[in-house]
Amino acid sequence: MNDVYITRIAKYLPNNPVSNDEMEKKLGLLNGKSSKAKGIVLRNNKIKTRYYAIDDNGNITHNNAQLTKEAIESLCDNDFTVQDIELLSCGTSSPDQILPSHTAMVHGFLKNRNLEINSPSGACCAGMNAFKYAYLSVKAKQVNNAVCAGSERTSSWMMANTFSEEVNHLLSLEEQPIIAFNKEFLRWMLSDGAGAFLLESEPKGKYPLKIEWIEGYSYAHELETCMYAGGDKLENGELKPWSEYSANEWSEKSLFAMKQDVKLLSENVLVKGVDSLKKALDKHNVTPEDLTYYLPHISSYYFKDKLYEEMVRQDFVVPKDKWFMNLEKVGNVGAASIYIMLEELVTSGKLKKGDKILLHVPESARFAYNYALLTVC
């Protein structure tokens, strides 16, 4: 089989960075009032700026597929054009529609050539699953090259009009129109953007990264749903899908807004994260000391110290001087976060031949984790 290398990396972040003070101007006020939860969430996540595909007048500037197309085109130049792409694999948790698939829409915007496409679904791990499909396809000599991408366009899901019918419904019942924290929580966490890799079987470019391995683990067999959209969680922990509600209830319950079971998240995401980290590294006889850089995708800086504490508790510690993150500047871009983080590390000028980079991507939807080990060539 072929060795496989990341030979190019690109990102696309729409419009200008949005500060904490500008967020409600962009997303809108719920029931005309500033959020009480906003300050609490931002104080914990420590995100300072993020990006929205929304202009200063509240108009949407890009859909998800267009963001992805922009990142992929940024990979290309006269030596490697969009016409040269042999396989396209794109992951997201926020597709623009149920059908056609996200990657089909990206391919439509690229207007390049007939090629194979793959659209993994999921949350943050969708970008890594897109990466793994592309990696295995080049490794197995099915194609000579592959482009994979991760992207999100969640801002439109978080805008005030997404919740307006639910607010009106609560007012009609003479209830206090306060949106549940499990829905509002994510309004102050998420960001728009896309990242892309070009994978080839030869180590081309200034900083080619050899892909040593990619591993994935799911804990859905033992844990209930934690983050969800397009449904509602029942008291027994089961998820009732949107298709089993009436059309009126879709808006009254804001069924298509992203929601997070914060208690379930805090109880499990770190424990299972370190457990799966140990599994991945032990399988390949890698120790934390072997790593030069550790890139953990976390949704909030609230979890940074707690992740380290969990590593200490499970006696599997990656020293903090190996950690590299950019959450504060770009926000939580879900499936795109690991692409954007790696792009920043590669362009930082810090890398040298032989460095080992571990990518660590958790997904709280039903608790899944992906890992990849890269070597700088």
CATH assignment at residue 125: 3.40.47.10
Cα separation of 98 and 92, whole Å?
Answer: 12
In a shared domain, residues 271 and 165: no
Residue 178: the pLDDT is: 45
Residue 165 is assigned to a structural domain of this protein: yes
How confident is the model over 149-179, as pLDDT tens digits? Answer: 999 999 988 887 776 565 555 555 555 544 4
Last residue of a domain, one of 208, 235, 252: 208
**Sequence-distant (≥ 6) Cβ neighbours of residue 193 within 8 angstroms:** 11, 12, 13, 14, 51, 67, 151, 152, 330, 333, 336, 340
Q: What are phi and psi of 376, to 5 degrees?
A: -75, 130
* Lowest pLDDT segment from 118-122, 172-176, 230-234, 292-296: 172-176
Sign of torsion over alpha carbons 350, 195, 325, 56: positive
SS3 call for 357: strand
175 & 58 share domain = yes
Q: Which amino acid is at 112?
A: N
Q: Which of 208, 232, 247 is the last residue of a domain?
A: 208
Domain boundary among 168, 184, 208: 208
Within a domain: 370: yes
pLDDT at position 143, please? 98
Supply the range of the domain harboring residue 139.
4-208
Does residue 253 sit within a domain? no
**Residue 189 · residue 299 · CB < 8 Å:** yes
Share of the chain above pLDDT 70, in %: 94
- Summarize pLDDT for 279-316 with one digit per residue, the tens: 999 999 999 999 999 999 998 898 999 999 999 999 99
Predicted TM-score (pTM) of this structure: 0.94
| More confident of the two residues 186 and 130 | 130
Average pLDDT of the residues in 37-61: 92
Domain count, the chain: 2
On whether residue 245 sits in a domain, the answer given is no
